[in-house]
Amino acid sequence: MGVLAVLIFPLLLFGISGIIYIYRAVGRLMSKSAVQNKVVVITDAISGLGKECSRVFHSGGARLVLCGKTWEKLEALYNALISVADPSTFTPKLVLLDLSDINCIQDVAKEILDCYGCVDILINNASLKVKGPVQSISLELDKKIMDANYFGPITLTKALLPSMISRRTGQVVLVNNIQGKLGVPFRAAYAASKHAAQGFFDCLRAEVEEFDVCISTVSPTFIRSYHVQPEPGNWEASIWKFFFRKLAYGVHPMEVAEEVLRTVSRKKQEVFMANAIPKAALYIRTFFPELFFAIIASGVKEKQKLEEK
């Protein structure tokens, strides 16, 4: 009896771990089977997240149309995918696309449709970032950010949407950012573009539901491109700096790509990928806005004081 009592906890822990592992494995298999033979368009496929999305959807048997601004990088991605692919997977199609060049998007959309005759899933992944005080960012740069993060994605979506509506099937995924819901100082242009995109796709979701077209948004905090967190500075311990650090650590591109795959397979409408700190910030922003504004403003003042020392 004593031996059984000693062993019961590790056995129970082992059993629960096994169940979780099996559940996740089955979930991954189901997610991949949901995109098999589907025509999937990924914008900015040559970015960190774009590459990871390309990898998981390609291994799931999707018919990929990979879009990017640089042909050499698209070819490198193509070679990487086919070198490790199962023989039963489809060879990706490559399309040059710069979402900030609005005038070319209609022609590119036609080229995309010509690849397979239709589009089942569009993943709007492209994003352009800028950081700095509002007064130091030129209006030209503001417009460039809006073109890349807002006008580009919605123009491509509008061009491909009629084919989805006529077939009464399809899904559009916007990879957005926490700043589509929560503005962060010194990123005004970026936050504005993300708010605009969030608003557009929220409205579109309701408009196309009757045509069985699903609109999804996946909003991580920040997508990190490093494996090791940066060393803290002298003022790391302050509350507001801790808040921003928690936001900035973000998530790895692989995690976001797997979540995009789950979002597609389960037709989720909205996913918010964040730890407790950003979620709490969003809650405070919604229900206690004056407190939120005061915290953010005090953080900016503290940063300015430290920079002056």
Catalytically annotated residues:
190
Q: Helix %, strand %, coil % for the chain, to 5?
A: 60, 10, 25
Letter string b/e over residues 50-75, b meaning 16 or more CB atoms within 10 A of that residue's CB: bbbbbbbbbbbbbbbbbbbbeeeebe
**C-alpha span between 231 and 240 (Å, rounded):** 17
Of the candidates 162, 299, 282, 297, which has an alpha carbon nearest to the alpha carbon of residue 244? 299
Beta-strand pair 93-96/213-220: unpaired
From CA 59, how far away is CA 56, in angstroms rounded?
Answer: 5
Identify any residues that bridge with 124 across adjacent strands, giving them in sequence order: 174
